[in-house]
Amino acid sequence: MSLFVLTRKMKLSCWSLNARSVADKGCELISRLSYKPCDLVAITETWLDQSIESSELFTRSFQVHRRDRTRHGGGILLACNVELGCVRRLDFETDCEILWCEIIIPSHGSKFLVGVFYRPPSSDAVYLYELQKSLSLIDRSGTNLPLLLLGDFNLPNITWGEVPKCYDALSTVFCDIVDDYFLQQMVFEPTRSENILDLILTNTPECLMNITVCEGLGNSDHSSIEFDWKLKPGRLKQTPRFVYNYRTADWKGLKEDLVKIPWDTIYLMSSVDDVWEAWKTLFFQAVERNIQKKLIKRRRDVPWLNSDLKKLLHKKRRLWKKAKFSGDQAKWANYKKFSNLVKANLNKAYFAYVKDLTASLNTNPKRFWSFVKSRTKKQNTPGCIIYKGSRALTPEEKANVFNQFFCSVFNDRTDNLSSIPGRGRDILLFCLHISFMI
């Protein structure tokens, strides 16, 4: 397990966007998140189904929660930094495209709710009543948590200000829902043409800062929204990681040291935890004497993203800002042309990297299969484990939860224990009750 230390950064960086099919923009999405890291990513119109794995769109730095529709429309997702606890709240979701997660800051346990919502343009007021029902479930649950609701609401007939003005019945229904649950809308710049369709709703506006409407993803006709959420006590960063260098190990010396250790003496202790600590100390003292350690460099999640590509991404953002503030159609055309060029270069670099990996399969198979695993496998351990009403967030808490569960389902049978030499049953129970300290 990696160890983490806190820095002084006191915010979460967030990104909300309408992708209009994220499946064909996977390379650009991964590159964008490497170039400009985020803690929370909310995407509407994902156009995904179960044939597309989340690992094809995000690196292992994220845990992803999805509510798919089809490959031809709709769908939403929320991606959360694995350093945060993230629990899906299905009990708050209703018969509309809405997804809720409870975000937990592991360092001190503060929590807040994040939702992603998409309203199809052709839907009627009944669809908005399902949104109202979802907010009602949260209200009646008594959680009283800070709430953040992101997404594409497709309601162009509202002029947003301190007092919003509605120009049709559907918009009036929506604004009434927003008022009923004491939410505030925080986006005041157009996100598609001249309309504000992508919104940020919250019951704690004082927690939002640096809200910026910026370029969308790929050829999406929506702008995206970047902002910071002031509920994070510190960003968790990896400390240097050391591993044993088995290639230079003195295996003969290790065997001799292990033979000399008086293992029988540790079983005289009365506590199982004391026995485990004593065994572990003696064993690793022998290991440290005979196997050296080496420093593992931090792995780049997007190794094909070089400095030239980062410059292209930076230039793309500058061109978008110029087109946005000038409104000049020639500048918009220039931005779209350059955006297609960036996408082509990103894809070219990605496939060149994959080709190089394939060519090195015989000489360095570990590098190849590590990449394949990272792109095809889901996260082995969830960010948060709930067992008997308790939440486990740290590695030690998760290990002890698994230990409690396996102990609870242990079948106390003695049929074949007679064939085990020595204290067979005692040894088995000893193994089962060890609490692994990670």
Q: What is the CATH number of the domain that holds 128?
A: 3.60.10.10
Rg (CA), the chain: 27
State the pTM of this model: 0.64
Phi, psi of 315 (to 5 degrees): -65, -40
Beta-bridge partners for 225:
16, 213
299 inside domain: no
Residue 294, pLDDT > 50, answer yes
Tokens of residue 215, six digits = 């370029």
**Per-residue model confidence (pLDDT) at position 300:** 60
Q: What is the pLDDT of residues 332-372, one digit of tens each?
A: 888 888 888 888 888 888 888 888 888 887 888 887 777 77
Identify which of 431, 322, 249, 352 has the alpha carbon closest to the alpha carbon of residue 27. 352
**Per-residue model confidence (pLDDT) at position 183:** 93
Q: What is the pLDDT of residues 64-118, one digit of tens each?
A: 999 999 888 899 999 999 988 899 999 999 999 999 999 988 766 688 999 999 9
189 inside domain: yes
Cα three-residue angle 305-306-311, rounded to 5 degrees? 100
87 inside domain: yes
CA-CA-CA-CA dihedral for 186, 191, 192, 196, to nearest 10: 10
270 inside domain: no
- Can you give the length of the chain in residues? 438
d(CA 399, CA 289): 28
Q: Are strands 111-118 and 147-152 parallel, antiparallel or unpaired?
A: parallel
Please say which residue of 215, 237, 259 terminates a domain. Answer: 237
pLDDT: which is higher, 26 or 15: 15
pLDDT band at 10 (very low <50, low <70, confident <90, very high): confident
Determine the structural domain holding residue 405 and report its residue range.
Answer: 384-438
410 inside domain: yes
292 inside domain: no
The pLDDT > 90 percentage for the chain reads 41
67 inside domain: yes
Please say which residue of 237, 269, 294 terminates a domain. Answer: 237
Q: Are strands 40-44 and 12-18 parallel, antiparallel or unpaired?
A: parallel
Please say which residue of 237, 256, 288 terminates a domain. Answer: 237
Residue 435, pLDDT > 70, answer no
DSSP string, 229-281: ETT-S--EEEPPEEEE-GGG--HHHHHHHHHHS-GGGGGG-S-HHHHHHHHHH
**Per-residue model confidence (pLDDT) at position 3:** 29
**Per-residue model confidence (pLDDT) at position 101:** 96
Q: Which residue, chain included where needed, has tokens 């966007």?
A: 17
What is the separation of C-alpha 134 from the centre of its chain, rounded to a whole number of angstroms?
23
> Which residue type is seen at 4?
F
141 inside domain: yes
Counting the structural domains of the chain, the total is 2
**Per-residue model confidence (pLDDT) at position 386:** 77
pLDDT band at 428 (very low <50, low <70, confident <90, very high): very low
Q: Is 416 helix (H, G, I), strand (E, B) or coil?
A: coil
